[in-house]
Amino acid sequence: MELSCQEFPYITTTITSRIPISSVYHDIQKDSTKRWQKEWQNCTKALTTKQFFPSVEVRLKRKIRKTQNVAAMLTRAYLHHFKIRENAHCVCQQGDQTIDNLLYDCSLLEALRGILRKNVTKTDSGQLTSMS
């Protein structure tokens, strides 16, 4: 990874051995998180994702394992958009496989939706929270 002094002004061209490298990494992490949060707030897209992760801090606190369920969120419609799949049809044959289809309509996921509804609720501010 190449770093420039313009991007990270607190890094000088010479880092002495008196500054622990972990401190430099921590500062870079903090700066990167602030930048990501600013982009996240200014972004007008990803409204569904923002319901689950209203801030970068909330997203970073959640350890998301890469599983088949996470991979499923790369929907067929998303993959079709980038010409990775020939079509966007959901396996349930009730329309295109979109995030909304997976969360609300796909008949194959009805049992899982029931578990989700049972364990997640909205707060007064509209954010989703886990009951467990």
Statement: residue 78 has pLDDT above 80: no
Per-residue pLDDT of 12-48, as tens digits, reads 555 556 778 888 889 999 999 999 999 988 888 777 7
SS3 readout for 14-82: CCCCCCCHHHHHHHHHHHHHHHHHHHHHHCCCCHHHHHHCCCHHHHHHCCCCCCHHHHHCCCHHHHHHC
The residue ranking higher by pLDDT, 34 or 100, is 34
pTM of the predicted structure, to 2 decimals: 0.41
Statement: residue 103 has pLDDT above 60: yes
Cβ within 8 Å of residue 20, ≥6 positions away: none
